[in-house]
């Protein structure tokens, strides 16, 4: 738990002073990692760094926690008694939100228990004392798999879409007029014939 876990922020290298990353718990309250819960673009220039136990605390967990409390009852078969003895996935979800010219990223941490196994094999060459024999050494370790997912949307003005919206509104405003003309000219029997004749009649005021 003393090792540092680093998360590269979207604001890394950004000159936007209004970009901040807020680390929150599941209930929306602030969670402190690296001594603070609010990281500005300048603070996160080299990534957001904190101890593993701090990230786990934001998810309401610890290395000694029972993995069964994070899963459904039907998925608890074959699990170890503690997270530290089986490994797990640490999922970081960042939800970007805009407020005027400022951008805020809400970072939430989730723990997903699962056997995270890493095996390593080394071929060790012994000295002449052992007739230059080779020994195969295998090591199995449980660890933490970190994943990052970003969601959210940044609204912006689109001139082409605005033009399409304006044209569609004009068309919809004239639609009742066209519909009424069709009803009057073709759907009212003899009265429609009179209206059609009156509409087709050409009047020249200079000849009358």
For range 151-175, the mean pLDDT: 85
State whether residue 27 is helix, strand or coil.
coil
- Is 191's pLDDT higher than 70? yes
Nearest to 58, CA basis, from 39, 30, 86, 96: 30
> Is residue 140 within 8 Å of 118, Cβ to Cβ?
yes
Sign of CA pseudo-dihedral 126, 131, 132, 138: negative
Q: At what angle do helices 190-200 and 159-186 cross, to 10 degrees?
A: 120
Residues in Cβ contact with 122 at an 8 Å cutoff, skipping those fewer than 6 apart: 136, 137, 138, 139
Q: Which residues have C-beta within 8 Å of that of residue 194, sequence separation ≥ 6?
A: none
Mean pLDDT of all residues in the chain? Answer: 82
pLDDT in tens, 50-104: 899 999 999 999 999 998 888 876 677 778 888 988 889 999 999 988 877 778 8
Residue 113, number of CB atoms within 10 A of its CB: 23
Tens of pLDDT, residue by residue over 97-148, are 887 777 888 999 999 988 888 888 888 777 766 666 788 888 888 888 888 8
In this prediction, residue 208 carries a pLDDT of 56
Question: For residue 58, what are the contacts with CB-CB under 8 A and spacing of at least 6?
Answer: 23, 24, 25, 31, 33, 108, 109
From 72, 67, 17, 25, select the one nearest 45 (Cα to Cα).
17
């Amino acid at each position: 738990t003393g090792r540092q876990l680093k998360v590269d922020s979207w604001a890394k290298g950004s000159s936007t002073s209004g970009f901040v990353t807020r680390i929150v718990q599941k209930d929306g309250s602030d969670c402190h990692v690296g001594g603070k819960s609010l990281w500005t673009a300048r603070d996160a220039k080299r990534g957001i760094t904190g101890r593993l136990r701090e990230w786990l605390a934001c998810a309401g967990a610890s290395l000694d926690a029972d993995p069964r409390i994070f899963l459904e009852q039907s998925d608890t078969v074959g699990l170890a008694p503690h997270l530290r003895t089986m490994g797990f996935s640490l999922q970081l979800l960042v939800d970007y939100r805009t407020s005027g010219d400022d951008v805020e990223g809400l970072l939430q941490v989730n723990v997903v228990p699962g056997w995270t196994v890493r095996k390593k094999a080394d071929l060790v060459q012994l000295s002449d004392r052992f007739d230059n024999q080779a020994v195969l050494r295998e090591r199995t370790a449980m660890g933490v798999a970190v994943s990052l997912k970003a969601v959210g949307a940044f609204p912006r003005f689109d001139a082409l879409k605005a033009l399409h919206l304006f044209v569609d509104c004009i068309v919809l405003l004239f639609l009742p007029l066209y519909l009424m003309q069709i009803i009057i000219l073709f759907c009212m029997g003899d009265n429609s014939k009179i209206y059609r004749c009156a509409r087709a009649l050409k009047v020249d005021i200079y000849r009358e």
